[in-house]
Chains A and B, each alone.
Chain A
Amino acid sequence: MPNLISKTAQGWQVEDEAEPPAWCSEDNWQPGQPLRLAGDAEAAPAYVEASSIAIEFPVFSDGRGLSLAVLLRTRLNYTGEIRATGAIHEDVLHYMVRCGFDSFELPDDRDQKVALASLAPYADQYQASVLQPEPAFRRVNRGRSA
């Protein structure tokens, strides 16, 4: 069953990954290779040279991977793929998208349709994020009431 949700030029898509990346752990990774990180890993500057990065979520309620993705995007300015793997749940995807993840390995027991419908449940958000670096108060004329 195809279970990789990823952001493409045409928007979010579900696909069957023919050849999954050969993820390397931190210990045996070399620049240019795909890198798999645990949520508690440090965002080492060298990782900017990974071909893609997977961040593993041990349970969906563990938010460490969110901060790690933010650091990879905002401190290292990493522009390659950041993929969420492990205990990925439909209802945390919208947080992940805003923290800079652009693909998700959805476990077989999760619902793809619900997942695709859960990527952006809100038209706008108050605070800044990787996806929207300006907080609402800098972009929206606040204080208007219909």
Chain B
Amino acid sequence: MYQYDDFDRTFVAERVEHYRAQTQRYLAGKLSEDEFLQLRLRNGLYVQRLAPMLRVAVPYGTLSGKQLHMLAHIARTYDKGYGHLSTRQNMQFNWPELAEVPDILQSLAEVDMHAIQTSGNCIRNITTDEFAGAAADEAVDPRPYCELMRQWSTNHPEFDWLPRKFKIAVTGAASDRAAIAVHDIGLRAFVDDDGETLFDIYVGGGLGRTPVIGSLIYHGLPAPHLLTYLESIMRIYNRYGRRDNKYKARIKILVRAMTAEGFKAKVEEDWAHIKDGPSTLSNTEIQRMVDAFEPPAFPDVEDNAGELQGLRLEHPGFSQWLHHNVVAHRADGYAVVTLSTKVTGIAPGDVSDEQMDAVAAWADAYSFGELRISHEQNFVLPHVPKKALFELWQGAQAQGLATANYGLLTDIICCPGGDYCSLANAKSIPVAEAIQHRFDDYDFIHDLGELDLNISGCMNACGHHHVGHIGILGVDKKGQEFYQISLGGHSGHSGSDPTLGQIVGPSFARQDVPDVIATILDVFVEQRLEQESFLGCFQRIGMDLFKERIYAEPD
């Protein structure tokens, strides 16, 4: 993975001191709440319902064991002993003291981490495939390009004061695990017949109040032009994006108003002036970054398939975990492991300092010192020798990180919701918990197969409810919490084009949500053809029967 050089370290250290001085001015009464707000947001600090919340950047979700040990230390020292994995692959702490944040940032800087631009109306952490560099279906490792964009977008003089927040996601694999279609900019990297790396560029996707699937505006942009093309997109958005209404300020509204063709024309008129200019990526710089993400040289290891088979028969739990949470690696004898945080009774994505230390130690012992945070709010160990899987499973079991539910009903994506977030209309964590309680039979959820259930506590859609096969959105009706349910959404990793879910109808009280989910699953189980997925079944039979059964009068 990428290692900071002196340039990176100097910049991050200066940023810590810059923010420390700003915090001191605020504490001395020299900056108003509103003025300081803009500065602290750009350094990751929100003020939430109960306390400040610090969002630490985990660029493209990649971390070293050493870095995760530091996050564990921060959780212990400055927080209540836990952190939260966000749907944008970051780590959030919910209880830091505002005055101590500069010290936390300094600790992060010691392990080459920061919280720069994790909030505010600027270019946010760039996200990607959590299996990048390991997945068998990958054409291009997106992380070198993510890092090039991270550096380019950090403290950008022109684009740090945008109309609204700005999110970029990149995929380089056949299956899009980064949900690029629902980002402000989505990039798909691929290689042409001559071995050249090219990008398809999508703009104007997004969730939130107005969910939109992004539009393709450039097919096959050669990698050296990536930053200049992005610069032109950002400039057109910065100049023409709406600033009069924050609900209409995202780039998707501008792209819709100008049409994708109109937007593209405007971008390319600007790009003509800077294309091939100094910001064009040199082959040296691209190669430096590609080299930085060169996968470890995987030593040949014995596959020991026979032994694994024996252990599977002996330990059904291990067998289930292998089936769901372990996927193919590109190197023989290795596997990609998802450590699920989705245990009934624990908020999805919440991890203790002890768990973090354990995962960090496993990364060092079993995964070449590397781990990932996924947008499904789980940990991923990308390079585990198959012969270590059983030992890892035993350790993960002891830490409550071995739930065999990756991609299943109970692997719920869920925002912090009304328990923590000051924007939320409704709580989301108790809904996730009630669903996990109701459906706790492994055989049942295993039989349902792949099923994304996503929960957001408000329209901002941090829980990605629009792209859940089943989506749940918390809404406020005259001060009461209600939940709107949608079906058939998906983010594109299921092979077909990304689609936004359709709302089933009037919303439900919180206590009724598990029953409604049960009804939806009943219809699916009755109607499914052999081996058909929930999504496939919904796409075949449509909404009517689900709707009829959900709203049927009780006998």
B288 adjacent to chain A (CB < 8 Å): yes
**Which of A7-15, A22-30, A48-56, A126-134 is near enough to bind chain B?**
A126-134
Closest residue on chain B to residue A143 by CB atoms: B5
Contact (A138, B282) CB under 8 Å given A66-B238, A124-B10, A129-B157 = yes
Task: Name which of B11, B151, B156, B161 has the most chain A CB atoms within 10 A of its CB.
Answer: B161
Distance (whole angstroms) from the CB of A39 to the closest CB of chain B: 9
Q: Are B30 and A134 in contact (CB under 8 A)?
A: no
Q: Are B158 and A99 in contact (CB under 8 A)?
A: yes
Distance (whole angstroms) from the CB of A130 to the closest CB of chain B: 8
A112 adjacent to chain B (CB < 8 Å): no
Residues of B within 8 A of A95 (CB): 157-158, 160-161
Contact (A63, B4) CB under 8 Å given A75-B273, A122-B14, A129-B157 = no
Whole-angstrom CA separation of A140 from B11 in the bound complex? 13
Q: Which of A63, A89, A127, A142 contacts B288 (CB 8 A)?
A: A142
Contact (A145, B3) CB under 8 Å given A40-B239, A114-B25, A122-B11 = yes
Q: Please give the number of chain A residues whose Cβ is less than 8 angstroms from any Cβ of chain B in the complex.
A: 44
Distance (whole angstroms) from the CB of A88 to the closest CB of chain B: 12
Instruction: Tell me the dominant secondary structure on chain B's binding face.
Output: helix
Whole-angstrom CA separation of A68 from B35 in the bound complex? 23
Q: Please give the number of chain B residues whose Cβ is less than 8 angstroms from any Cβ of chain A in the complex.
A: 43
5 sample A-B contacts, Cβ–Cβ < 8 Å, listed by A number: A99-B157, A99-B158, A124-B7, A136-B7, A145-B5
Q: Which of B9, B155, B158, B159 contacts A126 (CB 8 A)?
A: B155
Whole-angstrom CA separation of A137 from B30 in the bound complex? 37
Given A63-B161, A74-B273, A121-B18, 17 other A-B residues pairs in contact with their CB atoms under 8 A: A62-B243, A63-B238, A66-B238, A67-B238, A91-B22, A91-B38, A111-B30, A122-B11, A122-B155, A124-B7, A125-B155, A129-B158, A134-B278, A137-B284, A138-B282, A142-B285, A145-B6
Distance (whole angstroms) from the CB of B30 to the closest CB of chain A: 7
Whole-angstrom CA separation of A40 from B25 in the bound complex? 32
Closest residue on chain B to residue A64 by CB atoms: B239
Residues of A within 8 A of B235 (CB): 67, 70
Whole-angstrom CA separation of A121 from B10 in the bound complex? 12
Closest residue on chain A to residue B41 by CB atoms: A61
Q: Which of B35, B156, B273 contacts A127 (CB 8 A)?
A: B156
Whole-angstrom CA separation of A89 from B34 in the bound complex? 12
Which 9 pairs show the lowest CB-CB distances between chains A and B? A63-B161, A98-B157, A137-B285, A126-B151, A129-B157, A121-B18, A66-B158, A95-B157, A67-B238
B121 adjacent to chain A (CB < 8 Å): yes
Q: Which of B198-228 contact A (CB under 8 A)?
A: 227
Distance (whole angstroms) from the CB of B157 to the closest CB of chain A: 4
A135 adjacent to chain B (CB < 8 Å): yes
Q: Which of B5, B238, B239 contacts A144 (CB 8 A)?
A: B5
Q: Are B282 and A61 in contact (CB under 8 A)?
A: no
Task: Name which of B3, B25, B157 has the most chain A CB atoms within 10 A of its CB.
Answer: B157
Q: Are A92 and B161 in contact (CB under 8 A)?
A: yes
Residues of A within 8 A of B5 (CB): 142-145
Residues of B within 8 A of A89 (CB): 35
Residues of A within 8 A of B7 (CB): 124, 126, 136, 140, 142, 144
Whole-angstrom CA separation of A145 from B292 in the bound complex? 13
Instruction: Tell me the dominant secondary structure on chain A's binding face.
Output: loop
Residues of B within 8 A of A127 (CB): 151-154, 156-157, 227, 279
Residues of B within 8 A of A131 (CB): 157
B39 adjacent to chain A (CB < 8 Å): yes
Residues of A within 8 A of B227 (CB): 127
Q: Which of A43-85 contact B (CB under 8 A)?
A: 60-64, 66-68, 70, 74-75
B182 adjacent to chain A (CB < 8 Å): no
Distance (whole angstroms) from the CB of B168 to the closest CB of chain A: 15
Q: Are A64 and B278 in contact (CB under 8 A)?
A: no
Q: Are B161 and A66 in contact (CB under 8 A)?
A: yes
Residues of A within 8 A of B38 (CB): 60-61, 91
Whole-angstrom CA separation of A17 from B157 in the bound complex? 28
Q: Are B155 and A63 in contact (CB under 8 A)?
A: no
A18 adjacent to chain B (CB < 8 Å): no
Residues of A within 8 A of B121 (CB): 61
Whole-angstrom CA separation of A137 from B235 in the bound complex? 22
Q: Are B278 and A63 in contact (CB under 8 A)?
A: no
B132-158 near A? 1/0 per residue, CB < 8 Å: 000000000000000000011111111
B322 adjacent to chain A (CB < 8 Å): no
Distance (whole angstroms) from the CB of B387 to the closest CB of chain A: 34
Residues of B within 8 A of A74 (CB): 273
Whole-angstrom CA separation of A89 from B161 in the bound complex? 13
A1 adjacent to chain B (CB < 8 Å): no
